[in-house]
Amino acid sequence: MRQIKLGSDKMYFGEGAVQALADLPAERKRAYIVMSGTIQEELGQLKVVTDVLESAGFVWKANTDVEPEPCWGSIQRGVEDMKTFEPDWVIGFGGGSAMDAAKAMWVFYENPQYKTLEEVMPPTVIENLKVKARVCCIPTSAGTGSECTRAALIKDPVQKRKYSIRDYNGRLVPDVAIIDPVFSTTMPRRGTAGCGMDALTHAIESYVTPLANPFSDSLAIGAWIYGYKNLPVCCDDPQNLEARGNMLAASCLAGIAFSNCALGICHGVAHTFGATYGIGHGLANGVVLPYSIAFNSEHDERSAQRYEELASFVGKTDLQKVIVDLKEQLDMPVSMKELVAEADFKRDFDVLVQKVITDVATPANPVKIDENYAAEMLRRAYYGE
């Protein structure tokens, strides 16, 4: 038995969805907006958000201190800032980094008794949530689906390791998701492709994990079809609001899918390369994905059948080839060798193997990953075999 949670309590989708901010129920009307850098401010998007908040009587404060892969230090600084500002809404505005950072800051703001990331990891049940504040997320890129997921990924740069703060009962799913395609039209082609491949990876891994169920399957299939069809359009025609909206929907659906099952070895290897060499999460997944499909297909008949099903939903037969062709169309790297020096890869290899094995995503892979398989996957992803 598992508890299913199909997204945020309230989800607003489509052009003009940002206006829903005016309806956030709040007594004190204090909104703390978390962003990754100043890009949303420079693009004039922050003003769109704050104009709506101000029209509804909110006082707001912005935090632009979060780095592209949010680190523990910036979470701690944000929490200290929040203790002074005392928001009753935390708004994650940006890509997965901004949204995950907002969720993580919220967890520690609600629970000052916790001092480390380890203390908010499963099996711990996070003590207080929604006592001081609630969370709203507004994605500006279509990738992580964090606006509807029950996790927040935070990097510890000292240990070069990523922690997934989670709550199995879905209490980390934001209260409100505002999915307005207007905010994603400024995302550059490279970023659009990387984030989009993350969403497709969520859909594909959700579909083959042994924890898949009819609810996650339905969402994963929808995410895959919408994502596959709309990602190239978003890359080639960035102002296309329909495609941008469809891609945001795909990323959100994929996020809800994996929140109700799990991921797999592609994320395990991508997290490892990403945390060790500073490679963006979506890009890393995009590089690894064809090799994880090949690996699982060779070792597990059920996975091979399920990959074939996904390919058939978009009129194809070979899912690995579908992804390879899509990556070529999106000008994405073929292997990690294009991104990481071979001397570094060889020097770090044993550590990488251990990181893959202990990664939060690895255990749910349909093929059980031991040291030999972790090494095989790392070599395949690196050398493009």
Amino acid making up residue 215: F
Q: Which region among 66-74, 167-175, 195-203, 229-237 touches Fe ion (by CB under 5 A)? A: 195-203
Q: Of 275, 7, 310, which Cα lies nearest the Cα of 145?
A: 7
Q: Which region among 18-26, 173-181, 194-202, 332-340 touches Fe ion (by CB under 5 A)? A: 194-202
What mask, x for binding Fe ion by CB under 5 A, covers residues 6 to 35? ------------------------------
Nearer to Fe ion, 285 or 297 (CB): 285
| Window 102-161: residues binding Fe ion (CB under 5 A) | none
Task: Report d(CA 339, CA 14) in Å as an integer.
Answer: 36
Contact between 368 and 265 (Cβ < 8 Å): no
Nearer to Fe ion, 170 or 280 (CB): 280
Nearer to Fe ion, 198 or 348 (CB): 198
Contact between 209 and 366 (Cβ < 8 Å): yes
CB of 366 to Fe ion, least distance (A): 17
Nearer to Fe ion, 87 or 191 (CB): 191
Nearer to Fe ion, 133 or 199 (CB): 199
Nearer to Fe ion, 69 or 167 (CB): 69
CB of 281 to Fe ion, least distance (A): 6
CB of 10 to Fe ion, least distance (A): 24
Q: Which region among 24-32, 193-201, 241-249, 373-381 touches Fe ion (by CB under 5 A)? A: 193-201
Nearer to Fe ion, 110 or 198 (CB): 198
CB of 265 to Fe ion, least distance (A): 13
Task: Report d(CA 346, CA 221) in Å as an integer.
Answer: 38
Q: Which region among 8-16, 172-180, 191-199, 355-363 touches Fe ion (by CB under 5 A)? A: 191-199
CB of 215 to Fe ion, least distance (A): 19
CB of 69 to Fe ion, least distance (A): 12
Q: Does the footprint of Fe ion cover residue 205 (CB under 5 A)? A: no
Nearer to Fe ion, 286 or 366 (CB): 286
Phi, psi of 93, deg, nearest 5: -125, 105
Q: Three-state SS string across the chain, please? A: CCCCCCCCCEEEECCCHHHHHHHCCCCCCEEEEECECCHHHHCCHHHHHHHHHHHCCCEEEEECECCCCCEHHHHHHHHHHHHHHCCCEEEEEECHHHHHHHHHHHHHHHCCCCCCHHHHCCCCCCCCCCCCCEEEEEECCCCCCHHHCCEEEEEECCCCEEEEEECCCCCCCCCEEEECHHHHCCCCHHHHHHHHHHHHHHHHHHHHCCCCCHHHHHHHHHHHHHHHHHHHHHHHCCCCHHHHHHHHHHHHHHHHHHHCCCCCHHHHHHHHHHHHHCCCHHHHHHHHHHHHHHHHHHHCHHHHHHHHHHHHHCCCCCHHHHHHHHHHHCCCCCCHHHCCCHHHHHHHHHHHHHHHHHCCCHHHCCCCCCHHHHHHHHHHHHHCC
Nearer to Fe ion, 89 or 295 (CB): 295
CB of 149 to Fe ion, least distance (A): 9
CB of 11 to Fe ion, least distance (A): 20
Nearer to Fe ion, 69 or 198 (CB): 198
Q: Does the footprint of Fe ion cover residue 100 (CB under 5 A)? A: no
CB of 271 to Fe ion, least distance (A): 8
What is the CB-side half-sphere exposure of residue 115 using CA atoms within 13 A? 0
Residue number of the CB atom closest to Fe ion: 198
Q: Which region among 21-29, 84-92, 121-129, 190-198 touches Fe ion (by CB under 5 A)? A: 190-198
Q: Does the footprint of Fe ion cover residue 198 (CB under 5 A)? A: yes
CB of 160 to Fe ion, least distance (A): 18
Residues contacting Fe ion: total by CB under 5 A: 1
Residues of this chain that bind Fe ion (CB under 5 A):
198
